[in-house]
Homo-oligomer: A and B are copies of this chain.
Amino acid sequence: MSETETTGSKYTRHSRDDVVGAALALLDGLGLPDLTMRRLAATLDVQPSALYWHFPNKQALLAAVADQIVARARPLPAGVSDWMPTARTEADALRDALLAFRDSAEVVSSTIALGLGSGEAFARLAGALAIGDFEPETARRGASALLHFILGHVSHEQQRMQADSLGVVTRTHSSNPTDAAAGASGREEFDFGVMLLLAGLERQPHSARSLS
């Protein structure tokens, strides 16, 4: 959206942030498979090779895009005290941030898997769990489990959204009529998974129980 243009030069020049912004727009508009370096270059009126001044390769670009997406997650409302509602809120904020951009869960997921960035998502969940006084290892593993569930669930949700918009009729697992009837509003299923993990965590030893 905001194009950097320095005075008196021959071409329109772009900053690293311009490139990330354009990539984000392209991702949301066309989806991950159509986010190619060549197409991105075209929307910036630049040769493909120009992108390699800003990023060493496509993965690094995608990592920056993933960071942007996660960074836009709404911050915690001030004055929290209990770990469980805090963790629930962080999980919701993360899901909403992901749902704001098409195919974002896949981008964030692969970026995290490759260890290239977006540690912020993990840090926010771990921070919430730190409020309950779990063993550090327990908090780490809990945050990791939450993150895997969140990314997996939203990824699934986003793929279904895309499939639906294309009018594809893919019969999912279980010919059971229940799951067809259920509707499963996404949100409810998400909350259920988060709740299972938090309920499981609650049974882990805390050094101090919040009962005041």
Residues on A close to B: CB < 8 A? 109, 112-116, 119, 122-123, 126, 136-138, 140-142, 144-145, 147-149, 151-153, 155-156, 159-160, 163, 168, 170-174, 176, 178-179, 182, 184, 189, 192-193, 195-201, 203
Q: Is the CB of A152 within 8 A of B148?
A: yes
- A179's nearest neighbour on chain B, judged by CB, is B140
Most chain B CB neighbours (cut-off 10 Å) among A119, A152, A182, A184 = A152
State whether A148 and B114 are in contact (beta carbons under 8 Å apart), knowing that A140-B182, A179-B140, A198-B200 are contacts in the complex: no
Q: Is the CB of A170 within 8 A of B116?
A: yes
Q: Which residues from B are CB-within-8-Å of A142? A: 196
Q: How many monomers of this chain does the complex have? A: 2
How far apart are the CA atoms of A117 and B173 in the complex, in Å?
8
Q: Is the CB of B170 within 8 A of A140?
A: no
Q: Which residues from B are CB-within-8-Å of A155? A: 109, 113
How far apart are the CA atoms of A142 and B113 in the complex, in Å?
24
Distance in Å: Cβ of A189 to nearest Cβ of chain B: 5
How far apart are the CA atoms of A122 and B172 in the complex, in Å?
10
Which listed residue, B109, B145, B170, B199, touches A192 by the CB 8 Å rule? B145
Q: Is the CB of A156 within 8 A of B160?
A: no
Q: Is the CB of B201 within 8 A of A141?
A: no
Q: Is the CB of B126 within 8 A of A174?
A: yes
